[in-house]
Amino acid sequence: MESQVRGGTRWKRFAVVMVPSVAATAAIGVALAQGALAASFSVSGQQFKVSADKLTGTGFSQYGAYDEGVGGNHAVAVSAFDKATIKNLCQSVVTPNIPLVGTVTLRLEAGDSEDTKKQVKADQLYIDIADLEADATFKDIDIGVAAGTIDKGPGIKSGDHASAGGFAQQANRAVLTDVEQTAWATTAGTFKLSGLHMSLKKGAGEGVECY
């Protein structure tokens, strides 16, 4: 069974009370490019943007939860994958009001290749999403299962505040194209960024951030 979906999931924005550390995030990006670290991108209670031409994942599940942040709790839809391959990944996070500099955007790009061996690879991938736009195809999908009965994908992430009886869905395989999403956090057991390019750009918005 296959299902195709076009649409978005949106929640009210929450207040930003802290800004990310550009230097620390840059160091993490370099280590990830060298395959040295498991990945955890959680930007001090701040949302960040992620885009991709294509994400192909196996062992997919999605459930509702809330994250605890410095500025309070915020609702998320957690998308989880056993394994994922991502073509042309872009991640951008904005740091506003830096003294004597102004607003700066840190932008990470990787996996811009037609060769799947040179695209971004992730295992045990979790994305805590506030907003998502994509074309999606699911294979062998189960819609409306209880979160506590999920048996595909890596399971509910440790530390997630998710109701066992809450709404969830799962599928053997998911393919998302033309992805644009705003996330609160991304974590993975392993996250390999082939062809990493990292840059700092003044300002924010279109042409500076990922979208």
Q: Would you give per-residue pLDDT tens digits along the chain (211 residues)?
A: 555 444 443 333 322 222 334 444 444 455 545 544 456 666 656 899 999 999 999 999 999 999 887 777 889 999 999 999 999 999 999 999 989 889 999 999 999 999 999 999 999 999 999 999 999 999 999 999 999 999 999 999 988 899 999 999 999 999 999 999 999 999 999 999 999 999 999 999 999 999 9
In single-letter form, the type of residue at position 201 comes to K
H-type alpha helices, 12-154? 22-33
DSSP annotation of 81: E
From residue 75, give the alpha-carbon distance in Å to each of 7, 133, 138. Answer: 18, 17, 24
Phi, psi at 24, each rounded to 5° = -65, -40
Going by DSSP bridges, is the β-strand pair 72-87/102-110 parallel, antiparallel, or unpaired?
Answer: unpaired
User: Do the Cβ atoms of 124 and 141 come closer than 8 Å?
Assistant: no
